[in-house]
């Protein structure tokens, strides 16, 4: 275009004006062609952009879901660890409590289950020994005897209550 103008500038002004007009017309037509092309391609470009946006959204959601899943797994593992630690702490606390109760009962002289089992075993052995020596069959072993308070056996006092009969009451009134 510039070459045409230089070549024409040597010739007549009229030709120059014609060349400028032709160039302007070509520029205008190129602009109209670009506008028409943009309108025609605009719908296609818009649809393509929507499709790319949809694909991008799907990829982003999948990535976010993967991250959330990873975080959920991590939090679940942490919760399990905390639960195990708490359970271990409760077990230790329970053991400490049991030990202290056992020591307290021992200091008070309360026999343990093991002590009672040992005594029961000794009583059974002694019963067998007595049977072997005396030849009598021992009575069935009883559970630990219960302490009973001695009961005084006294005869209840009987209080006689006389009922006044109407005849006796009438005689007493007449005697007075």
Q: Using one digit for the tens of pLDDT, what is the confidence trace for 124-163? A: 999 999 999 886 665 555 555 554 444 444 444 544 445 5
Give SS3 for 161: coil
Tokens of 19: 């060349």
Cα separation values, 128 from 98, 140, 142, Å: 37, 11, 15
Asked if 101 contacts 108 with a C-beta cutoff of 8 angstroms, the reply is no
Q: What percent of the chain has pLDDT over 70?
A: 70
35 has pLDDT over 90: no
What Å distances lie between residue 49 and 1, 24, 34, 60, CA to CA? 37, 34, 20, 16
Average pLDDT value for residue range 93-115: 88
* pLDDT at residue number 36: 83
pLDDT band at 34 (very low <50, low <70, confident <90, very high): confident
The two tokens of residue 17 are: 């004006």
Give the model's pLDDT for residue 19. Answer: 87
**pLDDT of res. 82:** 87
For the cut 60, the answer to whether the pLDDT of residue 119 exceeds it is yes
Average pLDDT over residues 30-34: 86
Among the ranges 14-18, 63-67, 81-85, which has the highest mean pLDDT value?
Answer: 63-67
Q: Which residue has the higher pLDDT, 91 or 151?
A: 91
pTM of the model: 0.31
Mean pLDDT score, 110-134:
92
Structural element, H or E, at residue 68: helix 13-108
For residue 37, what are its two tokens?
């092309």
Average pLDDT for the chain? 77
Q: H/E element holding 146?
A: none
């Amino acid at each position: 275009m510039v070459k045409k103008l230089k070549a024409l500038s040597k010739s007549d002004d009229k030709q120059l004006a014609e060349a400028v007009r032709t160039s302007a017309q070509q520029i205008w037509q190129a602009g109209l062609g670009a506008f028409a092309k943009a309108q025609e391609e605009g719908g296609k470009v818009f649809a393509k952009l929507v499709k790319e946006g949809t694909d991008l959204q799907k990829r982003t959601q999948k990535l976010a879901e993967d991250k959330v899943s990873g975080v959920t797994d991590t939090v679940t593992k942490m919760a399990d660890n905390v639960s195990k630690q708490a359970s271990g702490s409760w077990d230790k606390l329970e053991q400490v409590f049991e030990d202290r109760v056992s020591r307290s009962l021992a200091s008070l002289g309360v026999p343990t289950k093991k002590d009672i089992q040992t005594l029961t075993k000794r009583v059974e052995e002694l019963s067998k020994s007595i049977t072997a020596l005396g030849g009598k069959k021992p009575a069935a072993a009883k559970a630990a005897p219960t302490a009973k308070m001695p009961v005084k056996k006294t005869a209840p006092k009987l209080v006689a209550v006389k009922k006044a009969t109407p005849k006796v009451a009438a005689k007493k009134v007449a005697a007075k």
